[in-house]
Amino acid sequence: ENTIQYNPCCISESSFYESKQEQQEIVESAAEMLYGLIHARYIVTNRGMHAMYEKYRTSSFGRCPNVFCQGQPVLPVGLSDLPRNYTVNVFCPRCHGLFFPKSTRQANIDGAYFGTTFPHLCLMTHPEMIPAKPTQQYIPRVYGFKIHSSSLYYINHEEGPQRSNNSNNNGGQIEAASSRNSSRKKRVPSSSRK
């Protein structure tokens, strides 16, 4: 009694083509994902690594936007090996920074199609590709003066200037001030002396 009867005469021609088009889109999407995941496996093989090495040498993936990296070529990397989680990023072998690709075409590629392993395995396979770390580091200044590591400017950043263990979150300054005050001799008023 609760069964739905299928009557082929009631299916319109437009709904037939719409369902066919939907199926076509699903098949194309699945084929693209399969191709991308095969690509992720291919680029970690010897042949794939060599092809990617040549692209790296010609800066096909772009250059690091960090000023002190001086235009270092970058390598593509995914933040996940699972598809449809993140788009591809680029990894700089000099500063070890992750950046968005400049090319909008590259920015829309799934990161899983390159995987999380590729740039690091490539650098381990070709150690001659590993550049020296940048010799310079940007130091924030206000009117020419360096910003102190205990400043609120660095409250959410650990990359502040070399912090000592005693100066975290103004604790070192407070401890130093209290120890200076306790080391001073307390003067007793002369009227209370006997």
What's the pLDDT tens digit per position in 104-123? 999 999 999 999 999 999 99
**Of 82, 121, 77, 81, residue with least CA distance to 97:** 77
Q: Tell me the per-residue pLDDT of 2-53, one tens digit each, with 9 for 90 and over.
A: 655 555 555 566 666 778 889 999 999 999 999 999 999 999 999 999 999 9
Contact in structure between 94 and 51 (CB atoms under 8 Å):
no
Q: Give the Cα separation of 134 and 109 in Å (integer).
A: 29
Whether 109 and 79 have beta carbons less than 8 Å apart is answered as: no
- Note whether 113 and 76 are within 8 A (CB): no
